[in-house]
Chain A
Amino acid sequence: MVIAIASGKGGTGKTTVATNLAIVLARSGRQVQLLDCDVEEPNCHLFVHPEIRQEIPVSVGQPAVADNLCRGCGKCSELCQFGAIICLGDRVAVFPELCHSCGGCMLVCPEGAITEQMRQVGMVELGAFDGVAFGHGRLNVGEARAIPVIAELKRQKHEDAVVIIDGPPGTSCPVIEAVKGSDFVCLVTEPTPFGLHDLIMAADVVRQLQLPMGVVINRSGIGDDRVQQYCRQQGIAVLAEIRDDRRIAEAYSRGELAVEACPELGQVFHALAEEISRQVRP
């Protein structure tokens, strides 16, 4: 079973939920794999301290143009959907950061002037902590596209485990890449106007992906009940509420798991796991 943890608004507690859910499930005897797919700013490792045993470099292709063969016909430019290769009179300019590595320009060049050059954009690291299989991706600073690293990380998914995906914040392409193909999406929010606003956008995205979803209200008590009202109106299950507790923030600031600092939270995460199970296999 693959459970994706997403949000909408950043900072609502995705990593808190993902890491604590993973450890609680593992301690109850399940095979668990935690994949931190927020490759632009991975942070699960700060709380679970994995031992990294394998590194997989991630590279993407970009066009290399042989100027002596190029005759400036412009076919590569016409084909490119992303403006990554531009024909300017008799020569061609390439913008690697815009290239989506489709290989189309290479195929369409009548002179055979374009070849593929690989560029490393990031790294996938695999390992384990406390009997939980772990993986995360790191996108190199300056790279614009997270998807190739997320895709490589998801290829390392274990078929026989409960896979928990810590997704990136927001609702853009990296989120779709992280969340798609999951069995269930857990949307973490805070009970504030900001939280609700972005939750609505995230729920809309998940609905379009046609994936079952539920909501976890983190820091419950700091705002109002409009998130609950929204969930009721939309028929979205509220899977769990984690009460606002300064001890959780203190644990976070020490790089400690919430369930270590507040053992009674173990019960909350167990119940969350049960509820998700119930939603996936009714």
Chain B
Amino acid sequence: MLMKIGIAATGGSMDAQVSDQFGRCPFFLIVDSDTMRFEAFTNPASDMSGGAGPAAVRELVNRGAEVVIAGRFGPKAQSALDAAGVRYVEAGGKVRDAVAALKL
């Protein structure tokens, strides 16, 4: 089933590590689960002193993410994800491997 997966990452490639942080991670990738095509972008919320989690959720929702992966999610990020109806999964390791694990 086609899913757009958002992943918090330490770099802009599928071989980067999943970021332990969500709201202030340096990069996000959005992966198309069928084709494995992806777009990578720097996280606009990474410099925010407050509300980074919700701001990051907004960016991902605007880009169509339906499920999100990161090491862990702060309470405001979780609220925003719940409000947006977006599923979130805690995972680590390489982005590529985390996406594969999600598809199983």
What 0/1 readout, one digit per residue, does chain A (79-92) give for beta carbons within 8 Å of chain B?
00011101111010
Judged by a CB distance under 8 angstroms, whether A95 is at the interface is yes
Judged by a CB distance under 8 angstroms, whether A98 is at the interface is yes
Residue pair B76, A77 in contact (C-beta under 8 Å): no
Judged by a CB distance under 8 angstroms, whether B84 is at the interface is yes
Separation of A98 and B57 alpha carbons in the complex (Å)? 16
Judged by a CB distance under 8 angstroms, whether A209 is at the interface is no
Judged by a CB distance under 8 angstroms, whether A56 is at the interface is no
Judged by a CB distance under 8 angstroms, whether B101 is at the interface is no
Residue pair B57, A95 in contact (C-beta under 8 Å): no
Separation of A77 and B61 alpha carbons in the complex (Å)? 13
Sorting the interface of chain B by its residue count into under 10, 10 to 19, 20 to 34 or 35 or more gives 10 to 19
* Residues from chain B with Cβ under 8 Å of A84 in the complex: 51
Judged by a CB distance under 8 angstroms, whether A93 is at the interface is yes
Residue pair B52, A83 in contact (C-beta under 8 Å): yes
Separation of A77 and B55 alpha carbons in the complex (Å)? 9
* Residues from chain B with Cβ under 8 Å of A88 in the complex: 57-58, 61, 80, 83-84
Q: Given A93-B79, A95-B76: A82 and B51 within 8 A (CB)? A: yes
Chain A count of residues within 8 A CB distance of the other chain: 12
Residue pair A98, B51 in contact (C-beta under 8 Å): yes
Residue pair B61, A93 in contact (C-beta under 8 Å): no
Contact of B84 among A77, A93, A95, A98 (CB under 8 A): A93
Distance between A174 CB and nearest chain B CB, rounded to angstroms:
15
* Residues from chain A with Cβ under 8 Å of B54 in the complex: 83, 86, 93, 95
Residue pair A91, B83 in contact (C-beta under 8 Å): yes
Closest to A88 in B: B84
Distance between B60 CB and nearest chain A CB, rounded to angstroms:
9
Distance between B37 CB and nearest chain A CB, rounded to angstroms:
22
Residue pair B84, A89 in contact (C-beta under 8 Å): yes
* Residues from chain B with Cβ under 8 Å of A93 in the complex: 54, 79-80, 83-84
* Residues from chain A with Cβ under 8 Å of B83 in the complex: 88, 91, 93
Separation of A88 and B61 alpha carbons in the complex (Å)? 6
Residue pair B50, A98 in contact (C-beta under 8 Å): yes
Separation of A91 and B61 alpha carbons in the complex (Å)? 11
Of all A-B residue pairs in the complex, the 8 with the closest CB atoms, nearest first, are A83-B51, A88-B84, A93-B83, A86-B54, A98-B51, A88-B61, A83-B55, A86-B58
Chain B positions near chain A (C-beta within 8 angstroms):
45, 48, 50-52, 54-55, 57-58, 61, 76, 79-80, 83-84
